[in-house]
Amino acid sequence: MSLKFKKAVEYFAKLQGVGPRQATRIVVALLGWPKEEIAKFSEVVFGLAEGINLCQDCFNLSEESKCQVCSDPKRDQSKICVVEKITDLGSIEKTGLYRGLYHVLGGAIDPVEGLLPRSLRIKELLSRVENFKKNNTNGQTKELEVILATNPNTQGETTALYLEEILRPTAIKTSRLAKGLSSGSYLEYVDSITLQNAFKNRR
């Protein structure tokens, strides 16, 4: 096997969810691409090194200071769906059902991996909640709902419980996605219908 080939497989196999066999398949497929396409692809990958801008409010990917979701006036400002990763946000957007805002935590609490609450964007979530309350003091308040859509696995559960605890003093309504998502799974791999139902039946 050529060294170039092996190196390429090694890199693709570093991606979460990609095993050595899949990595090999990807590299074989890439070898079939025209040279210009591969050049463009490597440019895109190289561009990632400069970092991608994140929305200042929800930490979604964004070219501007606010992402497309946050800057859309038609989105329901009284709902914040808390997810672990940008890919989870993508899965929920794909269902087309949810019309509120998001908050990307940047992971889940996982003491074994050294991921503690302070490594997540929890402070930022709290200040969004506080801001909502401040801007909503003039009577006809729309109640804020924070939907905890962390993964249905141990780390996700721990994170949701922690957030419920920390949001309790704010008297903000929190909800969780309905059970039915098989436990131990990841939101990003859940199919749209199941995810839609989990949203509709949240409590």
* Binding residues vs Zn ion (CB under 5 A): 55, 57-58, 60, 67, 70
Residue 66 C-beta: closest distance to Zn ion, Å? 6
- Of 53 and 201, which CB lies nearer to Zn ion in the complex structure? 53
CB atoms within 10 A of CB 114: 7
Place of tokens 């090194």: 49
Residue 201 C-beta: closest distance to Zn ion, Å? 26
Alpha carbons 85 and 108: distance in angstroms, whole number: 9
The residues with which 147 forms a beta bridge, in sequence order, are: 81, 175
- Of 9 and 86, which CB lies nearer to Zn ion in the complex structure? 86
- Of 25 and 75, which CB lies nearer to Zn ion in the complex structure? 75
CB atoms within 10 A of CB 3: 7
Residue 172 C-beta: closest distance to Zn ion, Å? 19
CB atoms within 10 A of CB 154: 14
145-148 sheet: strands from edge to edge: 100-104, 76-83, 145-148, 173-176
- Of 60 and 159, which CB lies nearer to Zn ion in the complex structure? 60
Residue 59 C-beta: closest distance to Zn ion, Å? 7
Phi-psi map region of 168: left, alpha, beta (phi>0 left; psi -120 to 50 alpha): alpha
Both structure tokens of 179: 């059970």
Residue 62 C-beta: closest distance to Zn ion, Å? 6
